[in-house]
Structures are given as structure tokens and as C-alpha cells.
Amino acid sequence: MAALSVSRAVNHIARRPLMEDRRLRSLFPPTVVLSGTVKGERGNAGRQQNPETESSPELSFDELQEAILRFFFLFGPRKASDNVEIRDSHLAASRERPRPAIQPGGGLIPSPAASDNLGAGGWSPLSSDGYQWLEVDLGERTEVTAVATQGRYGSSDWLTSYLLMFSDTGHNWKQHRQEDSVGSFPGNSNADSVVQYKLQQPAVARFLRLIPLDWNLSGRIGLRLETYGCPYTSDVVSFNGGGGLVYRLAPGPGPTRTSRDVVSLKFKTLRNAGTLLRAEGPHGLGLGLELERGKLQLLLLRHGGTSPAERRRLASLGSLLDDRHWHRVALERRGSHLNLTVDKHAARVQVPAEFSHWDVEQLSVGAVRTPDVSKRNFHGCLENLLHNGLNVIERAKHRGEQVTVTGNVTFSCAEPVSVAVTFPGPRSFLQLPGPPASALPSGGASVGFQFRTWNKAGLLLTFDLAHRGGVVWLHLSEARLRLQVHKAGRALLELSAGSALNDGQWHSVELGSRGGRLTVAVDREEGGAAHAAASFAVALGSPLFFGGCPAEDARPGCRNPFDVFQGCMRLFALDNRDVDLIMVQQKEVGNHSNLHVDMCGIIDRCSPSHCEHGGRCSQSWTAFHCNCSDSGYSGATCHSPVYEQSCEAYKHNGDTSGHFYIDVDGSGPIGPQLVYCNMTAQQHGPDQGPTVAGCEPALGSLRLLHGGGAAVGRHRPIGALRAGAVLPLQEVPPPQHPSWWLGGRGAGRVQTYWGGAQPGSRQCACGLRGDCVDPQHYCNCDADRPDWAADSGLLTHKESLPVRSLVLGDIQRPGSEAAYRVGPLRCHGDKNLWNAAFFDKETSYLHFPTFHGELSADISFLFKTTASSGVFLENLGIKDFIRIELSSSTQVLFSFDVGNGPLEVRVDAGAPLDDDRWHRVRAERNVKEASLRLDELPAAARQAPADGHFHLQLNSQLFIVAVVEKKLSASHFNSHWMPLYETPHCPEPLAVPLAVK
């Protein structure tokens, strides 16, 4: 390699006072000039000499790296004399061919307090391509809260987008994502402005790596970088499966020490199964936190006595938790409820009644004492284990009386190095050389590796047979492992093993050939293997290709008739020799393309699931799919209801009387219900008068329960159908033992009025009319006469409906009898459908509270107008917005911005929409797509960006604004009905409110 002529100098940094943003970490490259001496003056710092006219010493590449990779850190509010120099070993950059270099000038982002004394310049590799990165060792684990970037001083070099990676060890990098979804960060638009990104959740790591994605097309990769954060302290303990900690709580003064318990910790592990923690209490009751297939399970434990041990799962949270990154767990007991939190996801569960007076007596972590579950012992590290604020690990370090340490436990985190590679796309491949001929075993070979993926198909490995002209393919097909050996287009051998290998778990693969026997094994201890006698030897004399093949013009010896592999691989071994993937990354061994080395970029898009209403989630490497079958909903995320919201809507569509499913809250949580719709009654539209069409639920009957001297009748809940009911009732209770019924929302409230009377009146219809059989009572049944008497009437107050329970008192008295009948609930009309507003001026508008549709939003309404354009509705945020408008006389436009640029979905009706006829608009936006439907025309849709999804963040009021001479009706927003005619500043409605009979 030709030597480069440079001179080395470090630009001293002006001392800075404490700034408003409390800058705690700063990093920047040094001044590196091609010739001359830097004396700390700004003019010299940015000046570049002509290398052809100046003499300079020659440096090797390693000396060049030592010269150009030198940063300074400024730690917060320091004195004017404080500089902290980061040594050369703390810095690294990509070592691709051609080699990277930092361009002349310093790399600190200037602050107002120090801009006059700081050098310029920045980091810029000699080759601007997708293989470059800049890495910083912060010296210790640090809580990073923000990063800021700036282009290279006085140049056209800046980044327009980049990735951020973090690591505790310098290996096993984790990509930081915005809102846990979007991976790329916006960069700069010029070389001078500073763009800062504040991390929504601080990242705790020792190493930071920035990977350029895009840069100014008229320049090169150029960067000045600064990070912000604060020191991070923690107590850590490591378990290898044989050791553990037991923390026994001190005895309390009473039967209940506390009504609330909180246990919190962080953990990291390479294994997808193991017992993380057990909380044990009296009477053999306990709770457990266990990893199972990379998910955290909350278990209820019962043991002891004569009954067999019980393990019941209460909740399951998280996924892919065996990624050797830190995950936060919190378990809170509050009365009869448990709150479990894993990272950002939470679940609330109710525990059995016996746990309401249960106390934690002992916490166990690490090794489980029960012999039959030794395989469940935890392998990994715990951090900051707290019980009600008490630091258990700190007490264990000091050998506190309440903490017992058993087995092999160390108070540091052992970090085994396991380098993984990610195959993200169709151009990804890894080429490894076969072992030299002298190292080949006689008549045999072996290849081993592990993989994880969501895809059912993909090439894992291919290589040519030595001296035979054949080819070996090891690939996934229908989530099974298949081995094919072909020669001259003819299959010599085929084997298959394993099943459901696209579950996202790590699976081991071994391919071996010994003594004329060929074996392929999957998960040897738990999976299966396939064997076959081979009349040919399989030797690894040619290059091996993993995941795919190079481009057609550069792929001799590699053919792939299958899909490419998308997923992660690790632990490569060729003839029992481990492969060093770091050397592969540095192009010192083998070859590769479009790989992410030293990280596994797998994402579980189904945890948590974005499929609503019970839709079943499945996924591939790049996307997820919702199966909405039998759910009553449709759309990309099962958000949109299949059924109408009322009988009135079916009648509007031209249907006749019969049984129909109705979804009373649209996309809300209440599922479809089967009802009978009577379409024979007359119904009036919004411009014609009262609405009187009816429907009758086809639901279950009453049943009578006896207990405590009362007869109780229960009716199946009707939910949001509370519009009217008939309750004929016959009863003979004495007045000193009154009867009542329950009705209304939820479990219902006690109601003491009867059919035909007013709520709260404690009367029946006869009392209201004044014609009861005994004038001293307000109900006929209270007369307590030997003859039968009856009270009946209609219950018409929606707030009291449906009838849920009926209690008839004092039926055990000799000679006392009661009879009753509850009629069906009948609802009439639909105020949601024919609720209208009329806009007769351009300045007319309605406003509502802010629309909340962060990840899933749907809007529907009817309109008719004589105007050719105008906005229907709009809601704004700081950057985000959502809008639906009539963009022309034939087109409706749905537009929005969730922070990654405005998107539009447009539907062309092909006919005038300003025809003064009713038209229906339905718009939906979710994490997969945005769609717009007009009347019965096919829906128009636009796919969401593949990089991930943002939350829709709005903060203004929702405005429904005017198209001249426009009428809006039946407005629904995320299953919430907007009452147009009840809104202030709204003219008289064109539709009559709901009529109840």
C-alpha cells in the first residue's frame, strides 16, 4: 500500500461554560493537515496545503489511523482548564477498500460559546459508499439522550440520513429506531446547520456507531458529530445456570406487610428459555417470570399440600428477548391486580381471590431449587434488581443477612462474543472459502451454522461438488429444511428435516458427510435429522455461498434457483473450524455484499400485534399480514367493520326484513350482533321528518335463579343497542320487601321504577295514572291481595337499558307467588345515520376535540353539495396533519403527514359529485396502508413506507369546514359518532333526532 504524507496535530478546544442544554458529551475528529503545524489558531486549522510542494513524513495506514481518529470529549459543566482526551483506542472507523480518512480540519459542532476558537473540518472517508461507519467508545456505559450532526466545514459534504447503532461491548450492535419502528434518522441539508435528534427513550451503551445511508449527491460523506447524555450507574449480576440469589423479606408486624409490591429489573440473555424470577408467599402460592421461546411469561404457581403443583399462565409479553440486549421488566401487585411491563409494553391481569391477602416472603433469581426444572435455570445477566426500591444486588454484594448467594455468581456481566450477520435483501450473500485441500478430511466434510427468519423459503447454502460437476443446495421450503444434490440437471439425492423453521427462533443446522453417509440435522437435541447413503463424497474444496449469490456478472460457481434468504446467521463452522466474521467484515476473508455484520436485525412485527378485533397476525421478513376471517372486520389490519351499524342502514341499502348482523360501534371494541330487522314501518330521511323503522334483537331468553329469598332473572346484555324496551311484569311482593331490576351500562345500576313510569319514581304505570287497585300504593302488585294483580308498561329511557337482572323479593313467605315476563329490546331509527349539518357560507365550520388516531384511524360521512371543491375536514399538529377534501367536481382527496412527508390517496368518481345527491366517503389510515373509498367504487390505497410507521400526532381541534351549499351527515371518527346537530354554532339539523317508541 502506498504511504500517505501527512502531519499530525491536535487542535485544542476552547473551554466552554455550562450551556442551557447541559451538554455532557462531545466528540469530534482532530485537525489533520497534509502539511504544516497547527498552533491552535482558527486560520491554520482549516488551511489545506498542497502536498506536491510541501515535504512531510510518510506514515503507514496504522499510523494514519492513529493520527486521524482522535476525538475530544467535554463532560458537562467543567472548569475552563478541563479537557478530556479520548485515546486512539477509543475510536474506530470502517476499514473498507479504499481506506477511510478524515479530511483536514476539526470535527466539533461549534457552540455559540466557543465558535470563535474551534477548528473546522470533519470526518470524511475516502470512499463514499454504503460500507462506511464511524464508531466511538464512550469509555463506560452512558445514558445517551441526543445526537447532533453537521456537515464538513467549507464543503459540499454532509449526510442526509443515517442509522444509529449502540452496543455495550463493541459487538452485537442494536439499531436504534424512532418509535420502535422507523430506522433512519434525518440528516442535514447543508454543511453548516446543526440537526439534533432527541432520543424518545435514552439509549444506555458504551459504544455508538453511526452508519451513513444517504449524502449530498454533489458531494461526499461528511460529518461532524456530537452526543448528549449523562453517566449511568448500575449493579449487575451474572448467572451461568448453576448459581442464584435468594432474598428473604424481614418479618413484618402484621398479617399484611404492604398492599403494594413492585419488583423491577433489567436482563439480557442468549437463551430463549429460563426462569428469571420467582416470588413466593404463604400457603404455597407464588408468581413466576419465565422466558419461553423468547417471550416473558407471568405464571401463577401453586405447590405444597396434597394437591399437585400448578403452573398457570396469566400473561405473555415481549418477543425475541434472547437477543443479548438489555430488557426492562416491572411487576407490580396492587390489590387483586398485577401490572406487568416489558420494555414499552404492558398488561394488566386479575389474580385469584386468594392473592388479595398474599404477601411476598421470598424472591429467587437465577437457579431454581426444584430439581425437575433445572433446564429452566437462567443463563445471563441481571441489572438493578429492586424490590419496593431496595437494591437486592447491592445487598448481595455486601453479603447482607437477607440475601443468600448460591453457586457460581459473579457481580459483572459476562459477555460471550457471538457475531451474527443479517441478510436484509435480495442482493445479500456471504462467500466463504472452502478449507485448503491439505486440510480436507479423507472422504468427508461438515458445515454448521445457526439461522433465524420469518420467511418460509430461502437459500441457506450452496456449493459445487468437488471433481464431480454437481451442486449442493441447502434451502428452506414451506418452513422445512431441504437438501438437494444435483448433477447435469438430475437430482442425485434429496433430504428434508425439521418443520415450522420460520418461527423467528434460532435453529442450528449441521450438514455432514462421512464414510459414504450424508446427514442433515436441525436442532439436533430437540429437532430431527435425515440420513442417506451417498455414492459420492461431499468435500468443501470450492467456495461456499450463504444466503444468495453474487450478481449475474460476478457469480462463477454459484446458482440459486430458489428465493434469497432474509434473516440472520451466526456460529459458522467449516470442518469444525469456527469462522471469524470480523475478518469477513474487513474483507480479509471471503467476500460479501449487502450484509449487516455483527448484528441481527430481526423484528417481530406481530408483537404487539397490529391486527385488530381478533385478527390473526403472520409475518415475513419485511411485512406482516392480518387474517380477518370470521372476525366480522376487513382491511389490512381488520379495522373496518363488514356489517352496517343499524337496521336503518340496511334499509337505506334496499334490504327487506330479516336477520342481519349489525356492528353498533363500527370499528370500536363491540363485536357484531345478530338481530332481526323489521323494515315494514315507514321511515323518513333527513329532509322528511321523524324516523320510525324498527329492529328486534334475536338474543337469548330469561332464566330464573333462587337464592337468599329472592328470585333473580337475567337477560343477555345488549350493549350499545340501548334504544327502547318492553317490560311486561306480573309480581306479588309485599311492600316492605321491594323488588328492583338492574339496567344500563356495564353491570347495570339498581332501578326502582317499572314499565310506564319515570326513572327514580318508585312507581308503576298505574301510580302515574292514579288508577292502582289500592290507592295507598303506587303499584298493583304492592296491594298484597289474594287475587293476582299485574303491572306492565314500556321502559323507554335509554340510559336504563338493557334490562340485565330482575330481583323479586320475599317469595319464600307462605302463599306468596310472583310471575314475570321481560319483553324483547326494540330499537327504532338511527340518529347516527341521519344526523346532518348544513353549511351555507364559506366561513361556516364546526369544531370538535382533537382527533386521536395515532396508529389506526377511520373516518366516514355522507355529503351532498353543489360546489365543485372544498375541504370537508382537517386536523393539524406541529408537523402532522390529516385532511379530506373535494379536490374537484369528480375527485375526493385524502391527505396526511405523520412526520415522514405528506401522502395522498385520491379517488376519481368519473361523474360529477356536485349533483346535490348523497355520497358516502370512507377513509382509513393504519400502519400498513391508507385507503379511500367513495360510494361503492373500488377503494384506492397507498402502501405505508417500508421503513416503518410513525404515530399520527395532532394537537389542534378537528374542524369540519365548509364547501358552499354543503350538507354533511352520519360522521364517524374511529367508531365515535360526531353529533353534528348538537354542536355549538351549528344550524338547525336537516334530519330529525332518533325517535324512540
Query: What is the per-residue pLDDT across 231-246, written as a single tens digit (0 to 9) for each?
Result: 999 999 999 888 888 9
Q: Cα(563)–Cα(462) distance, rounded to whole angstroms?
A: 13
Strands 966-973 and 958-961: unpaired
Over residues 736-750, the pLDDT tens digits come to: 346 888 888 777 888
Q: Which residues pair with 431 in a beta bridge?
A: 545, 591
- State which amino acid sits at residue 293: R
Nearest in space to 627 (alpha carbons), one of 611, 642, 606:
611
pLDDT at 697 over 90: no
User: What average pLDDT does the segment 264-271 reach?
Assistant: 94
- Range with the poorest average pLDDT among 398-407, 733-742, 770-779, 801-810: 733-742
**Residue 726 pLDDT class (50, 70, 90 cuts):** very low
Pick 569 or 98 by higher pLDDT. Answer: 569
User: What average pLDDT does the segment 544-549 reach?
Assistant: 93
Q: Cα(44)–Cα(801) distance, rounded to whole angstroms?
A: 84
Q: Cα(677)–Cα(659) distance, rounded to whole angstroms?
A: 6
Q: Residue 335 region, left (φ>0) first, then alpha (ψ -120 to 50), else beta?
A: left
What is the pLDDT, as a whole number, of residue 738?
Answer: 66
Q: Cα(451)–Cα(432) distance, rounded to whole angstroms?
A: 16
H/E element holding 62?
A: helix 61-68
What is the pLDDT, as a whole number, of residue 145?
Answer: 94
Q: Cα(490)–Cα(78) distance, rounded to whole angstroms?
A: 74
Over residues 25-59, the pLDDT tens digits come to: 333 333 222 222 222 233 333 333 333 333 334 44
- Range with the poorest average pLDDT among 197-206, 541-550, 793-802, 931-940: 793-802
User: What average pLDDT does the segment 873-892 reach?
Assistant: 87
How many beta carbons lie within 10 A of that of residue 198, not counting itself? Answer: 11
Nearest in space to 548 (alpha carbons), one of 444, 440, 436, 455:
455
Over residues 356-412, the pLDDT tens digits come to: 777 888 888 887 665 444 457 899 999 999 999 899 999 988 887 888 888 888 999
pLDDT at 576 over 80: yes
**Strands of 703-707's sheet in order across:** 703-707, 710-714, 803-809, 740-743, 749-751
- Range with the poorest average pLDDT among 77-91, 118-132, 649-663, 696-710: 696-710
Q: Are 473 and 496 in contact (CB under 8 A)?
A: no
User: What average pLDDT does the segment 691-700 reach?
Assistant: 31
Cell 334504544 found at: 723
Helix, strand, coil percent values for the chain (each to nearest 5): 5, 40, 55
pLDDT at 154 over 80: yes
Over residues 820-863, the pLDDT tens digits come to: 888 887 877 776 666 666 666 666 667 777 777 677 888 888 88
Q: What sign does the dihedral 175-179-182-184 (CA atoms) show? A: negative
Over residues 658-685, the pLDDT tens digits come to: 999 998 888 888 889 898 898 885 443 3
CATH architecture of the domain formed by 836-978: Sandwich (2.60)
Cα 742 → chain centroid = 40
**Residue 168 pLDDT class (50, 70, 90 cuts):** very high
pLDDT at 734 over 60: no
Q: Cα(260)–Cα(359) distance, rounded to whole angstroms?
A: 9
Looking at 3.40.50.300, 3.65.10.10, 3.40.50.620, 2.60.120.200, the CATH number of the domain 236-410 comes to 2.60.120.200
Q: Are 446 and 512 in contact (CB under 8 A)?
A: yes
Pick 723 or 226 by higher pLDDT. Answer: 226
Q: Cα(996)–Cα(724) distance, rounded to whole angstroms?
A: 6
**What are the Cα distances from residue 55, in Å, to 48, 126, 454, 853?**
14, 22, 58, 65
Pick 610 or 839 by higher pLDDT. Answer: 610
What is the pLDDT, as a whole number, of residue 638?
Answer: 93
Q: Are 974 and 858 in contact (CB under 8 A)?
A: yes
Cα 793 → chain centroid = 52
Topology alike, domains 4-231 and 836-978: yes
Q: Cα(171)–Cα(483) distance, rounded to whole angstroms?
A: 32
What is the pLDDT, as a whole number, of residue 468?
Answer: 67
Strands 836-839 and 845-848: unpaired
Over residues 57-97, the pLDDT tens digits come to: 444 444 333 333 333 333 332 322 233 444 555 667 775 43
How many beta carbons lie within 10 A of that of residue 375, not counting itself? Answer: 10
C-alpha cell at position 663 = 356492528
Q: What sign does the dihedral 835-841-842-845 (CA atoms) show? A: negative
User: What average pLDDT does the segment 466-487 reach?
Assistant: 88
Q: Are 764 and 780 in contact (CB under 8 A)?
A: yes
Q: Annotate 587-619 with DSSP letters as a single string.
A: TSSSEEES-EET------TTSS----TTPEEEE
**What are the Cα distances from residue 882, in Å, to 957, 960, 961?**
12, 12, 13
pLDDT at 970 over 70: no
Q: Exposed/middle/buried for 440, CB within 10 Å: 0-12, 13-18, 19+? A: middle
What is the pLDDT, as a whole number, of residue 985?
Answer: 38
Q: Cα(377)–Cα(560) distance, rounded to whole angstroms?
A: 42
421-597 CATH fold = Jelly Rolls (2.60.120)
How many beta carbons lie within 10 A of that of residue 535, not counting itself? Answer: 7
What is the torsion angle, in degrees rounded to the nearest 10, for the CA atoms of residue 379, residue 380, residue 381 and residue 386? -50
What is the pLDDT, as a whole number, of residue 443?
Answer: 57
Q: Provide the mean pLDDT of the chain.
A: 75
| DSSP one-letter code for 354 | G
Cα 299 → chain centroid = 23
Query: Domain boundaries in the chain?
Result: 4-231, 236-410, 421-597, 703-824, 836-978
User: What average pLDDT does the segment 469-492 reach?
Assistant: 88
Range list of H helices, 376-510: 392-397
C-alpha cell at position 984 = 355549538
Pick 719 or 444 by higher pLDDT. Answer: 444
pLDDT at 174 over 90: yes
What is the pLDDT, as a whole number, of residue 77?
Answer: 29
In the three-class reduction of DSSP (H, G, I as helix; E, B as strand; rest coil), residue 993 is classed as coil
| DSSP one-letter code for 15 | P
Q: Residue 43 region, left (φ>0) first, then alpha (ψ -120 to 50), else beta?
A: alpha
User: What average pLDDT does the segment 712-716 reach?
Assistant: 33
What is the pLDDT, as a whole number, of residue 891?
Answer: 94
What is the pLDDT, as a whole number, of residue 232?
Answer: 93
What is the pLDDT, as a whole number, of residue 120?
Answer: 47
Q: Cα(143)–Cα(164) distance, rounded to whole angstroms?
A: 14
Nearest in space to 121 (alpha carbons), one of 133, 132, 112, 108:
108
Strands 362-366 and 274-280: antiparallel
Detail the DSSP E strand segments found in 318-378. Answer: 327-334, 337-342, 345-350, 362-366
User: What average pLDDT does the segment 894-919 reach?
Assistant: 88
- Residues with Cβ within 8 Å of 458's Cβ and at least 6 positions away in sequence, in order, are 475, 476, 547, 562, 563, 564, 565, 566, 567
Pick 164 or 991 by higher pLDDT. Answer: 164
User: What average pLDDT does the segment 546-571 reach?
Assistant: 85
**Residue 537 pLDDT class (50, 70, 90 cuts):** low
Q: Are 932 and 834 in contact (CB under 8 A)?
A: no
Nearest in space to 991 (alpha carbons), one of 960, 970, 964, 961:
970
What is the pLDDT, as a whole number, of residue 479?
Answer: 94
Q: What sign does the dihedral 796-722-692-983 (CA atoms) show? A: positive
User: What average pLDDT does the segment 606-623 reach?
Assistant: 92
Residues above pLDDT 70, as percent of the chain: 71
Q: Cα(372)–Cα(679) distance, rounded to whole angstroms?
A: 66
Looking at 3.60.40.10, 1.20.1250.20, 2.60.120.260, 2.40.30.10, the CATH number of the domain 4-231 comes to 2.60.120.260
Q: Cα(458)–Cα(429) distance, rounded to whole angstroms?
A: 12
Pick 575 or 715 by higher pLDDT. Answer: 575
User: What average pLDDT does the segment 565-587 reach?
Assistant: 91
Pick 477 or 726 by higher pLDDT. Answer: 477
**Residue 102 pLDDT class (50, 70, 90 cuts):** very low
What is the pLDDT, as a whole number, of residue 530?
Answer: 83
- State which amino acid sits at residue 479: A
Q: Cα(797)–Cα(782) distance, rounded to whole angstroms?
A: 23
pLDDT at 527 over 70: no
What is the pLDDT, as a whole number, of residue 835?
Answer: 64
Q: Are 775 and 769 in contact (CB under 8 A)?
A: no
**Residue 691 pLDDT class (50, 70, 90 cuts):** very low
Residues above pLDDT 90, as percent of the chain: 32
Q: Exposed/middle/buried for 906, CB within 10 Å: 0-12, 13-18, 19+? A: middle
| DSSP one-letter code for 936 | T
Q: Residue 396 region, left (φ>0) first, then alpha (ψ -120 to 50), else beta?
A: alpha
pLDDT at 546 over 80: yes
